[in-house]
Structure 1
């Protein structure tokens, strides 16, 4: 109740729906010449995303493109091959939505497509036209005075990047169809590593509750902080990750909605930013020579990986693969996210104080430790199909009693119940521009 009350007051001071309030209609403002929305590069994850390579008629990916026979759209098709009707499924959906918006805005007018999929290399070498993910559009009357508003309507239709590129047309593009639906939370790969209090590196898949890992305090100092829970834990699902590479070779692989610590050169201070909004040339904090230092990002790519894990430390931060990151995702505020987990931190502290902490199945031998960790992982070969509440999956292990397994939060498959509650109410209590989309 306190959380809802405070967030409602925050909403009242700025833009947003407020708690349960209706959305207000917005006045559509035309784009100006050379403006693009969003205001980032077309090939960043915050826009249409990374390029996946040219698709030609002999490519295996060509079968994933679809023709668009919408009668409310005029296709120029100057090549006479039908290429302007061919596009990705997502592009087709956004284009059809835009066609309706155009007819509603200007009765009697239709949407006109001058370029879609291109197999003749008429665009720049990096163009998304070669992947069927971009279209150039006008109105059917070719009235240039309408193009600014046409670009705005394209943004409203859901195109991932819209550019008032030329006096002759508007350029629109979309994310790849192969990009999986954004995960409900934010995580690191199961193969990512952290530094534990003994100084050794530990893979997240082998990390145990109660272990202390290198993290960062609110004043930018490093500290070993206890892992109190896993916000998400899944070893069986393939996920899309942003891979951030720095000048010294540090590489962090994380989901797009995760908060990463970025050094703001203009303010000479650090701030948290969604991984999808980090660009080449930005600076992240890298742990090197026993301290955190700003280091330039030189490469950002998109990769797929099996398994993802989101450990939560008491500090709310964690240094993964030598790069400083938050433990939180989805909400564009480290302080609000950390504060919202205060009740569960207090609950776990009280539980530990009273002696009800879950047993950590560790061993003095690293070999036995790895063996136990492997036994706990979710594996098709080891599951006995015994499922209980809170997404726990049990294994048949004679050395561990059923009661011990029931009390082990690490044997988890999915989002933690407390995190699920917070995720379910975020859209009601937070302004829309605070939430990752």
Structure 2
């Protein structure tokens, strides 16, 4: 059983990926998330369940310095003989294989199947290890599809809420804004203002418990 303190910081509900997490950019290179610039295109799993490249519109929240606690989920696919690991916080949503509704990382158990990427294919990766780890920085990117491939594993952009779909709908006006006016300025912030309002409203109304 994993305690609720297993988030990016124990004094808040910040949720994210570690700064050393790697994404695949459009030029085919792997790049640490802490080094990715807003506007760069990275590998995602789009609405048609196909892999494609999309720009990072913004970071819902980001801090590139300091040590934080994450869950490290390790998954293995025998067909590709491939083992991958993701450093993700307690409240962040992650996709199970052949399931469009992701769950909080803390609910993942040994034997569950994650969606892992091998070339152009998305394969089932059985979770073989779950552990706590420390890593530098945290970032939570926002893409048009609401998904991102982190260290070869498909994850959601969203956290804290239970519903990826609802969060995606709620963030749609902000994505339209960024698509029209361009990417936001590159900076580190505790949390994006739009996302902060949504979180505070959901908490105050009790929606955070059902979304």
TM-score (norm 1): 0.44
More RCO (CA 8 Å, sep 6+): 2
Counterpart position of 1:345:
175
Unmatched tracts of structure 2, length 5 or more: 77-81
Counterpart position of 2:79:
none
Q: Distance in 1 between matches of 2:136 and 2:12?
A: 13
Counterpart position of 1:413:
189
Counterpart position of 2:28:
199
The CA deviation string for residues 115-170 of structure 1, in whole angstroms up to 9 with x for no partner, is: xxxxxxxxxxxxxxxxxxxxxxxxxxxxxxxxxxxxxxxxxxxxxxxxxxxxxxxx
Counterpart position of 2:84:
250
Q: 1:240 to 1:347 in 2, by over 3 A?
A: same
| C-alpha RMSD over aligned residues | 2.1
Pick aligned residue for 2:54 from 209, 225, 228? 225
Deviation (angstroms), 1:420: 1.3
Q: How does 1:292-371 map to 2 (within 5 A)?
A: 292-352=122-182
Q: Which has the higher strand share?
A: 2
Counterpart position of 2:110:
280
Q: Which has the higher helix share?
A: 1
Would the aligned equivalents of 2:18 and 2:136 in 1 still touch at CA under 8 Å? yes
Rg comparison, structure with higher value: 1
Pick aligned residue for 2:199 from 423, 430, 436? 423
Unmatched tracts of structure 1, length 5 or more: 1-43, 50-174, 359-408
Q: How does 1:4-403 map to 2 (within 5 A)?
A: 44-45=1-2, 48=3, 181=10, 183-247=12-76, 248-263=82-97, 269-352=99-182
Deviation (angstroms), 1:180: 5.2
Q: How many residues align?
A: 205
The CA deviation string for residues 52-92 of structure 1, in whole angstroms up to 9 with x for no partner, is: xxxxxxxxxxxxxxxxxxxxxxxxxxxxxxxxxxxxxxxxx
